[in-house]
Amino acid sequence: MDAALLATAFLLGFVATRIGLPPLVGYLIAGFVLHAFGYDVTETIEAVSELGIILLLFGIGLKLRPKTLARTSVWGTATVFAAVTTGVVGALLLGIGALGIPLARDLDPTTAVLVGFALSFSSTVFAVQALDRTNESDSLAGRTAIGVLILQDIFAVAFLVVADGKWPSPWALLVIPAFIVLRPVVGWFLDHSGHGEVLVLFGFTLAVGIGAGMFELLGLKPDLGALVAGLLLSGHPRSGEMADRLLGFKDLFLVGFFLSIGLAGTPSAAAWGIGIAIILLLPVKTFGFLWLLTRFRLRARTSVHASLTLSTFSEFGLIVGASALANGLIEQPWVSTVAVAVAGSFVVASIADSRRYEFYDRWLEQLKRFERQPTLEEDSMVDFGDARVIVFGMGRVGTGAYDEIVERRGTIVVGVDRDTERVASHEADGRNVVRGDAIDRDYWERVRFHPEVELVIAAMSNHPANLECVHRVKEFLPEARIAAIARYPDQIAELCAAGVDVARSLYEEAGQALADDATAEALGQEEAPSE
């Protein structure tokens, strides 16, 4: 990749982060700027872009539970919104054309419907990065938004198959059964891939080689293959670890994708005008999602968070537009118009997303009027009862702390963990453990605490999660003492600066315990002969 491309992408991405916008906004602008100076999309950029999208969808598949798509709040919202948006935007464009506006005045109904369809999607790239940045991927709002996005992507893939007129090989009917048969084998390799570069290489092999490669060979969309390959390992105990290890690579390769959008061409004045007019519809889009989600009995707060995550136009819209262009269904100026709308929506959505809590707090009472009662059980209030001690993260360290507190103080402790299977295992062993996400602000809003909570222990394996948990405790339980674990001295210092009362290093504690046990055993063996 040309050094000028990398330098420009870095500088504008850096500027974007400094002013509070996602770096992807800077990458998009970098593409437009570079195209103005004569740069075009190269084969290298296209290859990097495709790899970024493949890794993105693979990571989504790793974290997605298939049953999420079966929820009415997910498939109902995605289906209704796609149908209504396609019709409404198409009609609006035809109305603009009737006014004699350049570019739109010669618009035919087919093009209007296709543009409306392209703009019915929300950006998977933006949503995933926004959720990762706020550590809300596993919240109900995050899972709902991701589920809607996955269904939208499936709608887009279905269109691409039909538009290309290239039907897949008959052998494609066997691809899903083949993946199901392969699941135990793939799981075995994942269990024995260690924690280093072999694990990363295995992830690339699954995403690019087995997933995308097999689907492309059978005449199916490679992107969809990567998603299915991720779903193959969804629910595996180490799927989250693999997703985390691939995160940095995904973000790096996606730079090429955003550059390619801007490098594809400079929009005309008419395209800019209509694109900006479409951007003005974003509040309507956000409210549409809010209304639909509350119809499916999600709380207003959850619906607001999910709606703001979905309040963009999508890169998949550009893919749909490019496919329609290649098949002679629309003209190039409309692809540029969609590009303007997509780029502008990222900027607007970034600003709105950063103020989501302020927005909700200001309009709390008005938004609650949209709720339908009763709300979904998963979105209802959580009562911690008489618990005076709360342990977040019920892995080995958290379980040890829980058991020690029970032995000393009795049953005044509750454990919280985001892993459903782990929660079920603890419940089977008789522990008072509930499912929850320590870093999900919305979860804290739903919890009823005992008025005299004494201690909160952050025992998660992820340092950013522990740090975010500390911030939540300071906000919702300011009088409680806080204990937390870390791996390195700088992390301990960071926790202490955040207000932790007790911070311990896993490595130091483990070393001391090992030394104590080893010394005790050695001394016991030495004393044995004298007895």
Q: Average pLDDT of 301-329? A: 83
pLDDT value for 426: 94
Q: Which residues contact 339 (CB under 8 A, 6 or more apart)?
A: 261, 262, 264, 265, 267, 275, 318
Angle (CA) 283-287-291 rounded to 5° is 175
| Residue 433, pLDDT above cutoff 90 | yes
pLDDT value for 530: 44
Q: In the chain, pLDDT over 70 holds for what percent of residues?
A: 90
Average pLDDT, the chain: 82
pLDDT value for 16: 82
pLDDT value for 253: 83
pLDDT bucket at 456, cuts 50 / 70 / 90: very high
Side chain identity at residue 352, one-letter code: A
pLDDT bucket at 531, cuts 50 / 70 / 90: very low
Domain boundaries, the chain: 42-368, 381-527
Q: Average pLDDT of 425-454? A: 87
> In this predicted model, what pLDDT tens digit does every residue of 121-134 receive, in sequence order?
998 878 877 777 76
Most confident of 186-190, 323-327, 400-404: 400-404
Q: In the chain, pLDDT over 90 holds for what percent of residues?
A: 15
pLDDT bucket at 100, cuts 50 / 70 / 90: confident
Q: Average pLDDT of 444-465? A: 87
pLDDT value for 429: 92
| Residue 421, pLDDT above cutoff 90 | no
CATH of 42-368, one of 1.20.1530.20, 1.10.1740.10, 3.40.50.300, 1.10.3720.10: 1.20.1530.20
| Residue 2, pLDDT above cutoff 60 | yes
> In this predicted model, what pLDDT tens digit does every residue of 231-258 receive, in sequence order?
778 777 788 778 878 877 877 888 888 7
| Residue 264, pLDDT above cutoff 80 | no
> In this predicted model, what pLDDT tens digit does every residue of 23-53 receive, in sequence order?
777 887 888 888 888 888 778 888 888 888 8
Token pair 């210092």: residue:
493
**Cross-strand partners of 503:** 484
> In this predicted model, what pLDDT tens digit does every residue of 268-303 receive, in sequence order?
788 888 889 899 989 999 999 999 999 988 888 888
pLDDT value for 473: 93
pLDDT value for 167: 60
pLDDT bucket at 512, cuts 50 / 70 / 90: low
- Regarding pTM above 0.85, the answer is no
CATH topology of domain 381-527: Rossmann fold (3.40.50)
Q: Give the end-to-end CA distance of the chain in Å, rounded to a whole number.
A: 75
List Cβ<8 Å contacts ≥24 apart for 385-388: 385/414, 385/450, 386/412, 386/450, 387/412, 387/413, 387/414, 387/432, 387/450, 387/453, 388/412, 388/413, 388/450, 388/452, 388/453, 388/454, 388/455
Q: Where are the alpha helices (DSSP H) in 218-310?
A: 222-232, 239-263, 269-279, 282-295, 300-309
> In this predicted model, what pLDDT tens digit does every residue of 346-360 receive, in sequence order?
888 878 877 777 777
User: Of 111-115, 209-213, 246-250, 409-413, where does mean pLDDT reach its minimum?
Assistant: 246-250
| Residue 67, pLDDT above cutoff 80 | no
| Residue 457, pLDDT above cutoff 90 | yes
| Residue 155, pLDDT above cutoff 70 | yes
